[in-house]
Amino acid sequence: MLRIVFTVMAAVLASGSLAQTAPSQSEIAGYEGLLRAAHAGDVAVINRLVAEGADVNVRDESARTPIHLTAFASHDDALRAVAATGADINALDNCAYDVVTIAAVANAPTLRTPAESCRVRLCILRFTIFDVGP
């Protein structure tokens, strides 16, 4: 019996060729509360909503959090504000993207710096296949 193990490692900033799906206009139109404030880059509203108890890790239909939306919309001050609230900066959306990847792939150096200062990590995916051969 042969055991095959595939391990894939990729630095989150290694490639600018990854495909991402930014929020659609219909998704944006449906945003409320912290999701709307994050996408709009409204730091004052972000801070007010968090002070009132808003969930900083609320997700849209594609599992994007407010910190993802700030990166997609290129709002570096809002990204810093959301990160400062204790938001999960390692959160992944449905396509397995985090805020650093979104900022890097969007080639937004003003966003990469605050995102990278929060965390730079190595993604490791491991798949094991058993029972190959006789």
- The widest CA-to-CA distance across the chain, in whole angstroms, is 64
- Domain assignments of the chain as residue spans, ordered by start: 20-121
Pairing of strands 2-11, 122-132: antiparallel
pLDDT of 99 > 60? The answer is yes
Q: How far is CA 111 from CA 4, 38, 75, in A?
A: 39, 14, 8
Per-residue pLDDT reduced to its tens digit, 12-46: 443 333 457 789 999 999 999 999 999 999 999 99
Encode pLDDT of 45-55 as tens digits: 999 999 999 99
Q: Which overall architecture, per CATH, does domain 20-121 show?
A: Alpha Horseshoe (1.25)
Per-residue pLDDT averaged across 66-83, rounded?
Answer: 91
**pLDDT surpassing 50 at residue 93:** yes
Inter-residue contact 90 to 119 (CB < 8 Å):
yes
Amino acid at site 42: D
Vertex 129: Cα angle to 124 and 133 (nearest 5): 150
